[in-house]
């Protein structure tokens, strides 16, 4: 298992693990805990969207891991319920000096597509974390 390069408390809470982050691609794995399920006893859509968001952000950062990214826009489609262990794969489709255009897909244990997203991210310099802030911002994160 690899490191995201930064501590992301919400990602740690959900239990995502990073398995690939290189050459414009990423792979994360996740198994929803009982508190991450919806009333149909499948992975909550919000958890799936977070998985896609982080997967795409990681693909965007794979070529410049010293930079952070912030989500500008994201569109998600849900094809079927996400059950059991999930694998999310992300890809950097195109980048400019300041923007990354990405896609991500979540697969179940049988390799079926559960959800797919496209996302746009802005590259930002990572700021030191301290109690001082500029314009009310303390930290710029990778999501």
For residue 99, what pLDDT is reported? 98
Mean of the pLDDT values across residues 94-115?
97
Domains of the chain: 9-125 (3.10.129.10)
For residue 52, what pLDDT is reported? 98
Chain segment 16-42, per-residue pLDDT in tens: 999 999 999 999 999 999 999 999 999
pLDDT of 135 higher than 50: no
pLDDT of 129 higher than 70: no
Chain segment 48-103, per-residue pLDDT in tens: 999 999 999 999 999 998 899 999 999 999 999 999 999 999 999 999 999 999 99
For residue 132, what pLDDT is reported? 45
pLDDT of 116 higher than 50: yes
Per the DSSP assignment, residues forming a β-bridge with 74 are 119
């Amino acid at each position: 298992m690899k490191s995201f390069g930064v501590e992301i408390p919400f990602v740690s809470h959900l239990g995502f693990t990073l398995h690939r982050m290189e050459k414009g691609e990423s792979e994360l794995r996740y198994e929803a805990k009982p508190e991450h399920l919806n009333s149909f006893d499948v992975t909550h859509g919000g958890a799936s969207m977070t998985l896609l968001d982080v997967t795409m952000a990681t693909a965007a950062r794979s070529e410049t891991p010293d930079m952070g990214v912030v989500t500008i826009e994201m569109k998600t489609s849900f094809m079927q319920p996400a059950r059991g262990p999930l694998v999310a794969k992300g890809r950097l489709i195109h980048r400019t000096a300041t923007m990354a255009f990405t896609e991500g897909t979540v697969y179940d244990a049988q390799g079926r597509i559960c959800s797919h997203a496209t996302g746009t991210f802005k590259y930002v310099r990572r700021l030191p974390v301290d109690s001082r802030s500029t314009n009310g911002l303390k930290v710029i994160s990778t999501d």
